[in-house]
Amino acid sequence: MLLKMKEVLQSVPKFCFPFDVERVSQNQVGQHFTFVLTDIESKQRFGFCRLTSGGKICLCILSYLPWFEVYYKLLNTLADYLAKELESDLNETLKSLYNHPVPKANTPINLSVHSYFIAPDVTGLPTIPESRNLTEYFVAVDVNNMLQLYASMLHERRIIITSRKLSTLTACLHGSAALLYPMYWQHIYIPVLPPHLLDYCCAPMPYLIGIHSSLIERVKNKSLEDVVMLNVDTNTLESPFNDLSNLPSDVVSALKNKLKKQSTATGDGVARAFLRAQAALFGSYRDALRYKPGEPISFCEESFVKHRSSLMKQFLEMAVNLQLFKQFIDGRLAKLNAGRGFSDAFEEEITSGGFCGGRN
């Protein structure tokens, strides 16, 4: 949602109850969830929520920091104060949080006697069980559907995810999107859609939208075209496309085998498996960088799509038109031409996996 600050505060209450309040209660939808508002500079502001008092009250913290675990823990403390009517403790903690400067990664923070946390390092790969989003996503969705969803995101489809638990729903949205790293979903991104905005599902452009199951019938009654739909509760994915078969089969089978290994299920195993797939698909971008004396470094699309493997060539011809790929290349070129250079987990994976410097 693209909003200015004044509009943000007016829209928050609707996002705090993104389900049919007449039909379902809090114990049916769960407690924690997160919505996203996009500001006029295209920066994402997260709304971390906790339903309490039977779903009649929603505690919400707005922040640009994607600190899911920290804010959920903090919301539990605030809900506890609320239940015990400790209003001064609640206000003191909120005031302390608001006035605290943004801490560096891995720095301990004390907001009150009951509220202590360590500022997370969000630059590393998400790990299981530390990353709540990735953990819930990996537990809730089977490997085949994870692969199908990944392929659909790489084709920038219109995607709807639905679940009866808000925590699972928004975790699956955030978790699946994080696996596109080092790329980012560039289109409409609404982890949970409130009832008054259901018409967004009729948008002609790509989107990644979460919808609570109490609203899904209303959505299905609309004229939806070419929509990929994942029902997390039944673990079923419906799609009019064969996106997975458009990805090189060797990349898909390697990713599938990794995800099915028991050892992958903890630590950064899942995130690293997808990172390796991304490196296999896009790592040869380095070979297509062009260096000419006195000129900015550029990217040669023609060189990038030249590949011995016809399936990979076919995929890359499609990939160069993706917004997420264009944004990635623009970002890399901007850093190179500013003389800043870069080194991250993706570049390390390209090097260690040998995904550039040759055409496989």
Residue 357, phi-psi category: left (phi > 0), alpha (psi -120 to 50), beta (remainder): left
Report the percent of the chain where pLDDT is more than 90: 67
Look at residue 7 and tell me if it is in a domain: no
Q: How far is CA 359 from the centre of its chain?
A: 31
Joined together, the tokens standing for residue 78 give: 């605030």
Residues 276, 349: contact at Cβ < 8 Å? yes
Question: What average pLDDT does the segment 36-65 reach?
Answer: 87
Joined together, the tokens standing for residue 175 give: 């978790």
The number of domains in the chain is: 1
pLDDT tens for each residue of 257-303: 999 998 888 999 999 999 999 999 999 999 999 999 989 999 999 99
How much is the mean pLDDT over the chain?
A: 90
pTM: 0.91
Q: Can you give the residue range of the structural domain that contains 284?
A: 269-353
Give the separation between CA 234 and CA 346, rounded to whole angstroms.
Answer: 33
pLDDT tens for each residue of 311-341: 899 999 999 999 999 999 999 999 999 988 7
Residues 189, 156: contact at Cβ < 8 Å? no
- At residue 183, does pLDDT exceed 60? yes
The pLDDT-based confidence of 357 (bands split at 50, 70, 90) is: low
Look at residue 341 and tell me if it is in a domain: yes
Look at residue 38 and tell me if it is in a domain: no
Residues 64, 122: contact at Cβ < 8 Å? no
Residue 198, phi-psi category: left (phi > 0), alpha (psi -120 to 50), beta (remainder): alpha
